[in-house]
Chain A
Amino acid sequence: MNNIIETKKLCKTYSTGGVQQHVLRNIDLEIRKGDFTILMGPSGAGKSTLLYALSGMDKPTLGEIRFCDEDITKKNSDQLALFRRKHCGFVFQQTYLVDSMSVMDNVLSAGFLADNDRKSVITKAREVLKSVDLDEELWDKFPTQISGGEAQRAGIARALINKPDMVFADEPTGALNSKTGKDVLDALTRFNKDGQSIIMVTHDIVSARRGNRILYLKDGEIAGELDLGRYVSGDKERHTALRDFLGGMGW
Chain B
Amino acid sequence: MNKMLLLTKSHFRKNKGTSVGLVSLMLIAAMLLSLSLVVLFDAYPMARKEAERLDSGDGFFRISEGIDGLTDEKIEEIIEDDVSRYYIYRCLNYITQVPFADGTITANAQIYDDRAFSKEMGNSEIVTEDTSITSDYIYLPYQFYTSGGVDVGDQFVLEIQGKKYDLTVRGFLTTPYFGCNNSGSYEFVLDDDTYSGMVSVDGAPECILVIYELKDGVEESRFGIRVNNDIVTVAPYVNFQQMPVESVISNRTFISLIIVISFLVLSGVVLLVVLFMLTSSISNYIRENIKMLGALKAIGYTSSDIRVSVTLLFLMLSCIGAIGGIVLSYALLPFFAQMSIAQMGIPYSISFLPVPTLIVFSSIVLFTAIVVSVVLIRISKIEPIVALRSGIESHSFRKNHVRLDKTSMGLDMSLAMKTMFFNIKQNIITFIVVGIMVFLCTLGLLMYENFSVHPKVDMLTFEYCGGIAAFDHETAEDAREFLEEQEGVSNVRNMIMVYFYYGDEDKLMTYVIDDLSALNNVNVCFEGRLPLYDNEIAVSGKFASAHGIKVGDTIPMSYGDETFDYLITGFIQTTNNGGKEAYMSARAASRITDLSNAPAYYYFDTETETEEEVDRILTKCEDKYGEHMISKMNFYGIIAGSLTTFKSVATTMLVSMCVISVLVILLVMFLLVKALILNKRKDYGIFKAIGFTSGNLVLQTALSFTPSIVISVILSSILSYCYANKFMNLIMGAFGIVKSRFDIPIPGVVMIAIGMILISFLLAIFESRKVKRIEAYTLLVAE
Which of A's residues lie within 8 Å of B, judged by CB?
A: 48, 52, 57-58, 77-78, 81-86, 88-90, 92, 94, 96-102, 104-105, 108-110, 112-114, 118, 122, 125, 140, 142, 144, 158-159, 170
Contact = CB atoms under 8 A, between A and B. Distances in A.
Interface string B397-434: 10010011100100100010010001000000000000
A102 B692 CA distance: 18
B721 to A, nearest CB: 38
B395 interface: yes
B686 interface: yes
A114 B772 CA distance: 21
Interface of B: 394-397, 400, 403-405, 408, 411, 415, 418, 422, 682-683, 686-695, 772, 776-777, 780-781, 783
A104 B693 CA distance: 21
A13 to B, nearest CB: 15
Contact of A100 (B403, B418, B772, B783): B418
A103 to B, nearest CB: 10
B1 to A, nearest CB: 33
A99 B394 contact: yes
Nearest to B421: A100
Contacts of A90: 689-690
A57 B689 contact: yes
A249 to B, nearest CB: 24
A113 B692 contact: yes
Contacts of A102: 400, 403
Given A94-B783, A99-B395, A109-B404, 9 more contacts: A52-B781, A58-B777, A81-B694, A85-B692, A96-B780, A99-B397, A100-B397, A112-B411, A142-B400
13 contacts: A48-B780, A77-B694, A78-B693, A82-B691, A84-B691, A88-B691, A89-B690, A96-B686, A98-B687, A102-B400, A105-B404, A109-B415, A109-B690
A58 B780 CA distance: 11
A66 B400 CA distance: 41
Nearest to A111: B404
Contacts, number: 96
Contacts of B408: 118
Contact of A122 (B405, B415, B683): B405
Contact of B780 (A82, A84, A97, A170): A170
Contacts of B690: 84-85, 89-90, 109-110, 113, 158-159
B287 to A, nearest CB: 14
Contacts of B692: 81, 85, 113
Contacts of B688: 81
A152 to B, nearest CB: 14
Across the A-B interface, the 4 shortest Cβ-Cβ residue pairs: A85-B691, A108-B404, A112-B411, A84-B691
Contacts of A159: 690
B683 A98 contact: yes
Contacts of A98: 683, 686-687
A182 B91 CA distance: 110
Contacts of A99: 394-395, 397, 682-683
Contacts of A83: 691
Contacts of A57: 689, 776-777, 780
Contacts of A94: 783
A142 B395 CA distance: 11
B401 to A, nearest CB: 9
A92 B405 CA distance: 25
A117 to B, nearest CB: 12
B780 A109 contact: no
A59 B683 CA distance: 21
Contacts of B780: 48, 52, 57, 92, 96, 170
A125 B403 CA distance: 13
Q: In this complex, which of B397, B688, B690, B781 has the most chain A Cβ atoms within 10 angstroms of its Cβ?
A: B690
A97 B772 CA distance: 20
Nearest to A98: B683
A64 B106 CA distance: 86
Contacts of B422: 100
A47 to B, nearest CB: 11
Nearest to B688: A81
B756 to A, nearest CB: 29
B413 to A, nearest CB: 11
Nearest to A108: B404
A57 B418 CA distance: 26
A21 B78 CA distance: 106
A100 B405 contact: no
A125 B405 contact: yes
Contact of B395 (A92, A100, A113, A170): A100
A120 B783 CA distance: 35
A98 B422 CA distance: 12
A105 B417 CA distance: 13
A94 B688 CA distance: 16
Nearest to A110: B690
Q: In this complex, which of A77, A92, A98, A158 has the most chain B Cβ atoms within 10 angstroms of its Cβ?
A: A98
Contacts of A170: 780
Contacts of A84: 689-691
A100 B391 CA distance: 13
A59 to B, nearest CB: 9
Nearest to A97: B686
B691 A140 contact: no
Nearest to B402: A105
Q: In this complex, which of B403, B691, B781 has the most chain A Cβ atoms within 10 angstroms of its Cβ?
A: B691
A113 B410 CA distance: 10
Q: In this complex, which of A85, A100, A105, A112 has the most chain B Cβ atoms within 10 angstroms of its Cβ?
A: A100
B418 A101 contact: yes
Contacts of A100: 395, 397, 418, 422, 683
A187 B394 CA distance: 31
B408 to A, nearest CB: 8
A217 to B, nearest CB: 16
Nearest to B415: A109
A170 to B, nearest CB: 7
Nearest to B392: A144
Nearest to B423: A100
Contacts of B400: 101-102, 105, 140, 142
Contacts of B415: 109
B694 A113 contact: no
A89 B690 CA distance: 7
Contact of B689 (A96, A108, A144): A96
A104 B406 CA distance: 11
Contacts of B777: 52, 57-58
A94 B408 CA distance: 31
B215 to A, nearest CB: 78
Contacts of B405: 104-105, 108, 122, 125
Contacts of A96: 682, 686, 689, 780
A51 to B, nearest CB: 10
Contacts of A85: 690-692
Contacts of A78: 693-695
A183 to B, nearest CB: 22
Contacts of A142: 397, 400
A99 to B, nearest CB: 7
A97 B691 CA distance: 14
A82 B690 CA distance: 9
A158 to B, nearest CB: 7
A82 B693 contact: yes
A122 B396 CA distance: 26
B173 to A, nearest CB: 71
A144 B404 contact: no
Contacts of B694: 77-78, 81
Contacts of A112: 404, 411
Contacts of A108: 404-405
A105 B403 contact: yes
Contacts of B687: 98, 109
